[in-house]
Structure 1
Amino acid sequence: MFPMTMNDENIYNKVYAREGINLALSADEHHRSGIRLARRLRLPRAAGLAFLFFPVASVLTTQSVNGVWWLLLVGWVFVWPHLAWQLAMRSTDPYHNEMFNLKVDAIMAGVWIGLMGVNAMPTAALVMMMSMNLMGVGGLRLYGTGALMTALAALVTLQLMHIPAGFLSTPLEIWLALPGIIGYPMLFAWVSFRTTSRLVEHKRRLELMSTLDGMTGVYNRRHWEVLLRTEFENCRRYHRSATILLIDIDHFKGINDTWGHDVGDQAIIAVTRQLQLTLRASDMIGRFGGDEFAVIMSGTPAENAIAAMSRVHERLAELHLPGAPQVKLRISVGVAPLTTSMVHYQEWLKAADIALYKAKNAGRNRTEVAA
Structure 2
Amino acid sequence: MDNKRGKGLSFAKRIYAPRTIGLGIGSFSVMAALYPLNVPLWIWGLLLFNGFIWPHLAFVLSTRSAYPFQAERRNMLLDSVWGGFWAASMQFNPLPTVTILSMMMMNNVAAGGQKMLIRGALAQFTGAVLSWLLLGIAFNPDTTALQIYACLPMLTLYPFAVGMVSYRLAIKLAEHKRALSTLSRTDSLTGLLNHGSWKDLLQLCFQQSQDSHMPATLALIDIDHFKQINDTYGHIVGDSVLRRLSHELKENLRTEDLAGRYGGDEFCVILPNRSLAQAREIMERLRQVFGNYQHADDPELRVCVSLSIGLAACRPEYQNASSWLNEADKALYIAKNTGRNKVSIGAADTLSEAALSNSPE
Please give the TM-score of this superposition, normalised by the length of structure 2: 0.81
Who is 2:324 aligned against?
348
Matched, 1:37 2:11: yes
* 1:158-173 paired onto structure 2 within 5 Å: 161-171=136-146, 173=147
Name the aligned partner's letter for residue 129 of structure 1: M
Name the aligned partner's letter for residue 217 of structure 2: T
Cα drift, residue 226 of structure 1: 1.8
> In structure 1, how many angstroms separate the alpha carbons of the residues matched to 2:13 and 2:253?
48
Matched, 1:305 2:279: yes
Who is 2:355 aligned against?
none
> In structure 2, how many angstroms separate the alpha carbons of the residues matched to 1:279 and 1:162?
78
Who is 1:291 aligned against?
265
Who is 2:311 aligned against?
335
Cα drift, residue 126 of structure 1: 1.1
CA RMSD of aligned residues (A): 3.1
Name the aligned partner's letter for residue 170 of structure 2: T
* 1:238-257 paired onto structure 2 within 5 Å: 238-257=212-231
> In structure 2, how many angstroms separate the alpha carbons of the residues matched to 1:230 and 1:310?
26
Name the aligned partner's letter for residue 164 of structure 1: F
> In structure 2, how many angstroms separate the alpha carbons of the residues matched to 1:317 and 1:88?
58
Q: 1:289 to 1:132 in 2, by over 3 A?
A: same
> In structure 1, how many angstroms separate the alpha carbons of the residues matched to 2:247 and 2:19?
52
Asked if structure 2 preserves the Cα contact closer than 8 Å seen for 1:117 and 1:158, the reply is no
Matched, 1:365 2:334: no
Cα drift, residue 286 of structure 1: 0.8
Name the aligned partner's letter for residue 242 of structure 2: I
1:209 to 183, 190, 194: 183
Higher gyration radius (CA): 2
Say how many residue pairs are matched.
344
Q: Provide, for residues 232-278 of structure 1, a one-character-per-residue CA deviation record: whole Å limited to 9, x for no partner.
A: 33334444442211101122233333334443333323322332333
Cα drift, residue 210 of structure 1: 1.7
Cα drift, residue 360 of structure 1: 0.8
Cα drift, residue 137 of structure 1: 1.5
Name the aligned partner's letter for residue 151 of structure 2: A
2:166 to 192, 195, 200: 192
Cα drift, residue 283 of structure 1: 0.9
Cα drift, residue 309 of structure 1: 1.3
Q: List alignment gaps of at least 5 residues for structure 2.
A: 348-361
Q: Provide, for residues 97-149 of structure 1, a one-character-per-residue CA deviation record: whole Å limited to 9, x for no partner.
A: 43343233223212212221333443344134313312322345544653576
Please give the TM-score of this superposition, normalised by the length of structure 1: 0.79
Who is 2:54 aligned against?
80
